[in-house]
């Protein structure tokens, strides 16, 4: 049974697919050749970096998939910010099976923890501004639900998970529709029952978008001075979101312009894996 820490994603199928990719048809030939069949292993999973943890229940699932009797003691929980050297999980079970699951468990945990850790850095950078950090759909294909979970653990709010979660009119939609106002009016006529957000990259697009019925504005690739002008023009009529090229060193200045949200693709697209290991626990 999959842990209920994430919804709308088949965790059991994911675990089975990842293990099949790693084990191949012959299994862990090295462990089978060097370790007695009934040997036991007690190990500690620990962080070599300061991290924000994400994916610990998923890591446990890999070990349980190969050894249902493995004893797992989580020592921290997802969302915890911990220093380098922190023990994350203690495990005890069949040595062969634990080692066969090790890389799949670590790869998944390192990836999700990397996302959560980078996300927390961005969230901390705008703390106190009142601005809300959002993630995007810039994720590894097939792993979006996991990446979005990890970004939540790091302190972001999820933007759209899928294309059917909301109407977001971007520059290509505007170009084909013939203008911002035309695109917004077409979206309203479609009556999809979803909020309408429209991307603008010039100040002169703001009033036409609002007049046509836009319910949220995405202010794309605008620097802080232009963002301040845009926020003043909107004057609180709809929420505003800054997006495009946001980096850790620039996000606070962006947030301080008064935008409601700032979205960052980098946190799910480019986060480095965290350094987490599994080591034999000496008695």
pLDDT per residue as tens digits for the range 28-56: 999 999 999 999 999 999 999 999 999 99
Mean pLDDT of the residues in the chain: 95
Fold equal for 11-117+272-280 and 157-263: no
Q: How far apart are the first and last CA of the chain?
A: 32
Superfamily of domain 11-117+272-280: Quinolinate phosphoribosyl transferase, N-terminal domain (3.90.1170.20)
**What is the model's pLDDT at position 254?**
98
| H/E element, 74 | strand 71-74
Reported as a pLDDT band with limits 50, 70 and 90, residue 282 is low
Closest listed residue to residue 148, CA positions, set 1, 9, 4: 9
Q: Is the pLDDT of residue 176 over 60?
A: yes
What's the CATH class of domain 157-263?
alpha beta
Cα separations in angstroms, 24 against 18, 68, 177, 247: 10, 20, 50, 40
Greater pLDDT, 152 or 192: 152
**Mean pLDDT on 64-69:** 98
pLDDT exceeds cutoff 70 at 4:
no
The answer to whether 266 and 31 are in contact (CB under 8 A) is no
pLDDT computed for residue 7 by the predictor: 77
Q: Taking the domains of the chain in order of start, what are their residue ranges?
A: 11-117+272-280, 157-263
Which of the residues are catalytic? 103, 138, 170, 199, 220
CA nearest neighbour of 57 among 101, 108, 118: 108
Q: Residue 6 pLDDT > 90, yes or no?
A: no
Mean pLDDT of 2-27: 86
pLDDT of residue 258: 98
pLDDT of the residue at 150: 97
Sequence-distant (≥ 6) Cβ neighbours of residue 250 within 8 angstroms: none
Query: What's the chain's Rg over C-alpha atoms?
Result: 23
What b/e sequence results for 77-114 when a residue is b if at least 16 CB atoms lie within 10 Å of its CB, and e otherwise?
A: ebbbbbeeebebbbbbbbbbbbbbbbbbbbbbbbbbbb
**Whole-number percent of the chain with pLDDT over 70:** 98
- Alpha-carbon span 233 to 227, nearest angstrom: 10
Q: Is residue 154 over pLDDT 60?
A: yes
State pLDDT tens for residues 187-224.
Answer: 999 977 889 999 999 999 999 999 999 999 999 999 99
What's the rounded Cα separation, in Å, for the pair 122 and 228?
A: 20
Whether the predicted pLDDT of 3 surpasses 60: no
């Amino acid at each position: 049974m999959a842990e209920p820490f994430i919804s709308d994603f088949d965790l059991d199928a994911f675990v089975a697919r990842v293990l099949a990719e790693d084990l191949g048809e012959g299994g862990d030939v090295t462990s089978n050749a060097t370790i007695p069949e009934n040997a036991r292993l007690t190990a500690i999973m620990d962080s070599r970096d300061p991290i924000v943890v994400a994916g610990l229940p998923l890591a446990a699932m890999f070990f349980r998939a190969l050894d249902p009797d493995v004893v797992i003691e989580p020592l921290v929980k997802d969302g915890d910010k911990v220093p380098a050297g922190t023990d994350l999980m203690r495990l005890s079970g069949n040595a062969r099976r634990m080692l066969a699951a090790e890389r799949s468990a670590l790869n998944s945990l390192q990836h999700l923890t990397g996302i959560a850790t980078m996300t927390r850095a961005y969230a901390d950078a705008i703390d106190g501004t009142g601005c809300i950090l959002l993630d995007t759909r810039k994720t590894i294909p097939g792993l979006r639900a996991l990446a979005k979970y990890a970004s939540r653990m790091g302190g972001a709010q999820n933007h759209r998970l899928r294309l059917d979660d909301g109407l977001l009119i971007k520059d290509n939609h505007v170009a084909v529709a013939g203008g911002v106002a035309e695109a917004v009016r077409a979206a309203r006529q479609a009556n999809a029952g979803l909020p309408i957000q429209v991307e603008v990259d010039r100040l002169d697009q703001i009033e036409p978008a609002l007049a046509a019925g836009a319910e949220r504005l995405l202010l794309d690739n605008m620097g802080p001075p232009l963002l301040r002008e845009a926020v003043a023009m909107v004057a609180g009529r709809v929420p505003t979101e800054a997006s495009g090229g946001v980096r850790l060193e620039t996000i606070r200045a962006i947030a301080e312009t008064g935008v409601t949200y700032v979205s960052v693709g980098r946190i799910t697209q480019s986060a480095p894996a965290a350094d987490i290991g599994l080591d034999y626990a000496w008695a």
